[in-house]
Amino acid sequence: MEIQDLKEGKTSIGELISIAKDVMKNAYVPYSNFKVGAALLTKSGKVYTGVNIENSSFGLTNCAERTAIFKAISEGEREFETLVVVADTEEPVSPCGACRQVMSEFGDFEVVLTNLKGDIIQTSVNQLLPYSFDKDDLKK
């Protein structure tokens, strides 16, 4: 699939993939050795990175996608443009259910799934998690 550039003056998907691949080396994965990198472009034009961080109490492990989102949120960002996720997988890596739910909290934005071979799936939060439970459901 051809990589499409984002809005003029914004970081391209190709650049985001490069950033996500580069940050993968920082993953803390002593148990699985499965490194994942993420790069999140906000609507303000800033890029936040994330890696997966494992814990001996496996339930406390955090995925790369959520790490990037939480970093952005902690810096005051709330609107996202594109999230790129990369891992050394046969097919483009896919976010877990927890990551999909966290992504959906912040609306529908582009999600690019890839691997080190360059295979790419360009999708969206709504395509990854249709009929999600969100803050509007709490008002009912």
Report the candidate in 54, 64, 60 with the shortest Cα–Cα distance to residue 111. Answer: 64
User: Which domains does the chain possess?
Assistant: 13-126 (3.40.140.10)
Backbone angles phi, psi at 87, to 5 degrees: -155, 165
pLDDT tens readout for residues 88-114: 999 999 999 999 999 999 999 999 999
Question: Catalytic: 81?
Answer: no
Q: What is the dihedral of CA 64, 123, 90, 118, to 10 degrees?
A: -90
pLDDT tens readout for residues 14-65: 999 999 999 999 999 999 999 999 999 999 999 999 999 999 999 999 999 9
Q: Which of 8, 65, 79, 110 is catalytic?
A: 65
- Its pTM stands at 0.91
